[in-house]
Each structure stands twice: as structure tokens, then as C-alpha cells.
Structure 1
Amino acid sequence: MVSCWRLMFWPFAAVRIVDQALAAVLQNPLRDENPGDSCLRGGLGWREYGDPDPNNGGRATGIEACLDTEWIETHPGSSTQKDINPPGTDWAKDFARYLGLLPSADINKCHLLADTLSGEGGRTDNLVPCSRATNFPKRLGDPGRMEDNMRKFEGETRAAVDAGSIVHYRVVPVYAGPRTVPYAIEMYAYGTDRNGIPNFALSETVANTIYSPRVGSVNMGLWTDSRTGSVVPTN
């Protein structure tokens, strides 16, 4: 099962190029222990989906992958299938209606491993309920627009791969208690060239926030039912 790691924030520009000396001292748990090694296995990329959590509605637990151009070219991802609903999706849609929003416009099923990074959209262990703003940039000027959304960081990772990096990549949904809708998505990456020299790093947390004119910005994964005081959802 993919575990939840914590990293220091690295405030680098979009491409996030890191020189070898700096990378050597930064404590990145995705960095391979042996200098010169990449995450490739037998020279090949790979992807792994964490086991669903049987004690909490079968919610997704995360993904881990080793990405290079050959892997992505030979393992194309896929968009979300309409009939595939990860745990918590129905609640998220009902919550959007409660806020006066349209579920079709404001609720997404977020890939943990993006389709642009070989992620499959027909697996509930690769999907979590999320707001549109968390998943993808809304239009400029739209209330609730999040500049630091998942698509932004997925794009940075794909750009690094396209530029020749071998990227060790992990995405972990973070839940509060037994809820099946995460309150945040943690995204980590560490890239090297073919000689094992570090050239890319990313460590970001994207909040699962949704905006409504009725209540402002709220986190879907931290909502409490005001009528009962219970945490929701748990299935």
C-alpha cells in the first residue's frame, strides 16, 4: 500500500531544475539511496496503484510510478469513465447541489496518476472525488479559481519527462478520519537524467476546496453535517 510521505516545500520555478549539489542534501524520500540509480526496474518504467482501504469504504490510497518517455509512449492513459464512481462521488454531487452548484460543472473524479502520465480512468483505485478547481484551472476571473491545481503540477511533471527526465512520482489522497472524500492531494516527484543526476523536484499539496456564492470556499473533505455534527461522507 502506498504510504503518506511528508516533504519540505521546494519553491522553484515551473520547470524546477535542481542542481546536483543541492539535490544531494535535500531529504527527498523519493530519491534513490544509491547514487547514480534511477527508479527504473530492469531499464523500464512502472506504475503501481495502492490497495483500496477496506476499512473506510474502499477509498483510494495512492499511486506510485516511475515515468520516462518510453513508458508513457507505450502505456497511454485514459480519461475517466462515466460509469466508474470512486467512493464518495454521490455525496460530493449532493454536496454541490446543497451549495447551489451544478455537479456536472463543479465535481470531478480526479486521477491520482493523471491520464497524461499513463494513469487509467477506469479504476476506482486511481480516482477520488474532487472539486473542478482542485483538478483543473477554472477560467480566469472565476470565483474559487485555484492557480496551484493538480493539472498544473501534472503538467510540470510531464514536461520534465518530455525533456528527458526519469521521474519517480507519488500521489497520495489525504483523508480526515473515515471520510471517503479527501481534504487534500499530496503530489511528489523526483527526476534524474540517464546518469542519475537530479534535475527535477516537486512537492505540493493541493486542497480539495470548492467555492459557492452561498458559503464561500470550503473544503469538501472537512465538511461536518451541521444538523448532526457527524463527519461526512463515510461511504
Structure 2
Amino acid sequence: MTRPGLARARVGVRGAQEEAGRAACSAHGLDTPDPGVDPAGWESNKGYNRAHLLGAQIGGSNKDPRNFVTMHAYANSPIMRRYEGQLRKAVDNGEVIEYSATPVYKGDSVIPEGVWLEAQGSDGFQFMPKGATTGTNRIYIPNEPRN
């Protein structure tokens, strides 16, 4: 199984989904679903989650294996989920965001050692790290278990 790479999307509320108040995602490279495939490196009962590169709450696929990487449960939720929630809130407030998630691999490993998230918003969106007083457009999520 190949390991997923860069995932990009323009995320905003539009069209029929705007009426329902749901995020719409125009994703690049994630158009052929193949349900039932676990992410590269996935093993049950090992403390891992199937982590979205483009989160479902911002319109990412729940079926395309190229949208998933194997991450430690804590790295995926609450850490990565926190930033997906920030994106979703900005989209719900009318902002359009150019978003990308890039897994970082070491050598031939199929499990990323982390994921870079990048976002540029039409109204100046920035990720706000926990405890920070200033935001950033680029943040690294290390794929580590909770200490």
C-alpha cells in the first residue's frame, strides 16, 4: 500500500450546502473513492486512529484512502481536531480557506512522523495554537502518543 501525500482543498460555504450550513470542499486529487481500505501502516488495537488529511468536518472524504494516514490517537484527537475545528468555525463565518495537509515521512516508513497543516484565508485566517497569543498560517502536528 502506498503512503498518502499532499492533500489540498479550497474550503468554503456555498451553494445548496450553504443553505444547510455545511462546509463544502473542493479537493484536488481525491476524486476516486475506494471504501474499505485502511491507511498505510494501520493496525487495530495499537493506539492509532485513521486520521483525515482533509477533515470530514470541512468536507474531506470519509471513503478515499488517500485522505487518511495512520496517526497516534492523541495526535489526531484532540490535537489535529483542534485545528480542523478552527478551520470549520472560520468557514461557518463565511471565510474561504486554501488549506493543505502534508504528511512527513522518515525513510521508507508508511506512518508519518507528523503532518504540516497550512491555511490562507480570505479574511486573514490563522491557526491559533493552544496557549498562544498570536496565530500562524503553518503548524506542525507531531505523530506522537500522549506523554
1:124 aligns with 2:65: yes
Which residue of structure 2 aligns with residue 135 of structure 1?
Answer: 76
Sort the Cα spacing of 1:178 and 1:153 in 2 relative to 1 into closer, same or farther, 3 A: same
Offset at residue 152 of structure 1 (A)? 0.4
> Taking every aligned residue pair, what percent have the same amino acid on both sides?
26
The aligned amino acid for 2:68 is L
Gapped regions of structure 1 (runs ≥ 5): 1-56, 94-101, 138-148, 193-197, 212-216, 218-235
Which residue of structure 2 aligns with residue 200 of structure 1?
Answer: 125
Which residue of structure 1 aligns with residue 41 of structure 2?
Answer: 88
For residue 109 of structure 1, the aligned residue among 50, 74, 85 is 50
CA distance in 2, matches of 1:135, 1:67: 20
TM-score by length of structure 1 reads 0.49
1:210 aligns with 2:137: no
8 Å CA contact retained: 2:23, 2:91: no
8 Å CA contact retained: 1:62, 1:126: no
Offset at residue 185 of structure 1 (A)? 0.8
For residue 176 of structure 1, the aligned residue among 95, 106, 113 is 106
Which residue of structure 1 aligns with residue 121 of structure 2?
Answer: 191
TM-score by length of structure 2 reads 0.76
8 Å CA contact retained: 1:174, 1:184: yes
Count matched residues: 124
CA distance in 1, matches of 2:113, 2:57: 23
Offset at residue 74 of structure 1 (A)? 7.3
The aligned amino acid for 1:66 is R
Offset at residue 199 of structure 1 (A)? 2.1
The aligned amino acid for 1:207 is P
8 Å CA contact retained: 2:35, 2:64: no
CA RMSD of aligned residues (A): 2.2
The aligned amino acid for 1:152 is R
Which 4+ runs in 1 deviate beyond 3 A?
Answer: 71-76
Offset at residue 75 of structure 1 (A)? 4.7
- Structure 1 segment 2-13 matched on structure 2, within 5 A: none
The aligned amino acid for 2:65 is T
CA distance in 1, matches of 2:24, 2:97: 15
Sort the Cα spacing of 1:107 and 1:69 in 2 relative to 1 into closer, same or farther, 3 A: same
